[in-house]
Amino acid sequence: YEEIKPIVLINPKIKKFSDEKSVIEEGCLSIPDIREDVERPEAITVTYQDTDLKKHTLEIDSLLARVIQHEYDHLQGILFTDLVSDETKKRIKKPLSKIKRRRIDVEYPISDSVDYQLVF
């Protein structure tokens, strides 16, 4: 991935969401082995500062818009599992409980600071 440069968004704020939405399967390293369909706006407008603290505004669509929304949700204390249907939440309750109790093997460390709330 040497040709890929990271995108740094300091103090991001999503200012606008498109009316057009799409449903795509999402997963997260914070929640190993769980992947579910999540509906999100197809495009966003985000303001942020760069590493020189210069302010910018970007209009973003497609996969990058989804990734930024997913990561922005983390900053707001939202996990993708909070955005799925009630039926899906019931279906993934047991696997989430296993993750919370650290009864799952992954090839990376699971942070003790993540608190999985099982709200139904």
What is the mean pLDDT, run by run of 10 residues, along the chain of 120 residues?
Answer: 85 98 94 93 98 97 97 96 95 85 67 50
- What are the structural domains, with CATH classification, of the chain? 10-100 (3.90.45.10)
User: Comparing C-alpha atoms, which of 52, 51, 71 is closest to residue 60?
Assistant: 71
Predicted TM-score (pTM) of the model is 0.81
Task: State the pLDDT at residue 22.
Answer: 97
Length of the chain: 120
Q: Is 71 among the residues known to form the active site?
A: yes
DSSP 82: G
Using alpha carbons, list the distances in angstroms from residue 80 to 5, 12, 20. 25, 18, 19
Q: What is the pLDDT of residue 106?
A: 63
- Catalytic hit among 39, 71, 87, 107: 71
